[in-house]
Amino acid sequence: MILRRLSINLRAQNWTAIMVEFVMVVLGVFFGILAANWNLERSAKQETGRLLSQLDSEMGVFIANLDSIATYYQVTDAFAAQAAAGWRGDPAVSDSAFVIAAYQASQINGVGNNSSVWAQIFGAENLRNIDDSGLRLNLRQLMTFDYDLVHLAAAASRYREEVRKVIPDVQQKAIRAQCGDKDRPGGIIVIPARCDLVLPPAEATRTAAALRARPELAGELNWHRAAIATQMQNINTLKNHCIALTKRID
């Protein structure tokens, strides 16, 4: 309708009417674009709110996973202390217990997530739709955290490699079968606090002697425990970022 009137006014050279019609067209386009942009922004913010709610649930699962790693390492550290006693020749540690403890001390855990996982869950482009600058900072800390520091590889020490070269494969399989990692819902991995397995005496004695013939492994065990302590410090830092984020979301 407007375009037809504009055509008529052009033929009649009615310049005032032409200007009025032109301004109406421009304003119509402008307000149409403005309304469309407003709707898009509102939809984006609604989607961001939905994703934040989803992320809040994910955080609960993730924090529980981080707590389980701390529990896991409490167990392996107890085995490490027993293995260290075995290398010192403590008579309270039997050959079978020494071999099992030396193996269990080499068990490691870590965080499977990384920055790309969180970017997929939340979407890095949604950061700009968050008005709360503190919340944006918390999310950015989570998405840019160096996950190599908390990954399984962060605790893959020389001790783990060398001690498993000494312990025969058949004994390693027996220990893993009865006392190895157990999967739990939510991606949680646990390890039994005790291992009641008793290795055949003759085999245990041979392996214990082979371990004691490598006294440098006791030093490697110390380094291994230090590497795990560093990994746990980084895991605690990551956990603090997660807790701060959940508080902001709530």
Summarised one tens digit per residue, pLDDT across range 39-62 is 445 554 555 556 666 677 778 888
Cα–Cα distance measured from residue 13 to residue 23, given in angstroms and rounded to the nearest whole number: 17
Question: Which pLDDT band holds residue 37 (cuts at 50, 70, 90)?
Answer: very low
Report whether pLDDT(31) > 60: no
Instruction: Tell me which amino acid residue 120 is.
Output: Q
Identify which of 47-56, 120-129, 139-148 has the greatest average pLDDT: 139-148
Q: When comparing pLDDT for 94 and 136, which is higher? A: 94
For the chain, what are the domain ranges?
51-249
Which residue carries 């965080």 as its tokens?
111
pLDDT at 45: 52
Map residue 184 onto helix, strand or coil: strand
Number of H helices, E strands in the chain: 9, 2
Q: What is the mean pLDDT of residues 95-109?
A: 98
Q: What is the CA radius of gyration of the chain?
A: 32
CA atoms within 13 Å, Cβ hemisphere of 196: 0
Report whether pLDDT(173) > 80: yes
Query: In DSSP terms, which residues pair with 211 in a beta bridge?
Result: none
pLDDT (tens digit, 9 = 90+) per residue, 188-231?
A: 999 999 999 999 999 999 999 999 999 999 999 999 999 999 99
Report whether pLDDT(126) > 70: no
Whole-structure pTM over 0.75, yes or no?
yes
Report whether pLDDT(151) > 50: yes
Report whether pLDDT(237) > 70: yes
Which of 91, 71, 100 minimizes the C-alpha distance to 194?
Answer: 100
In percent, the amount of the chain with pLDDT more than 90 equals 55
pLDDT at 190: 95
Q: When comparing pLDDT for 37 and 80, which is higher? A: 80
Question: Which pLDDT band holds residue 232 (cuts at 50, 70, 90)?
Answer: very high
Q: When comparing pLDDT for 166 and 40, which is higher? A: 166
pLDDT averaged over every residue in the chain = 82
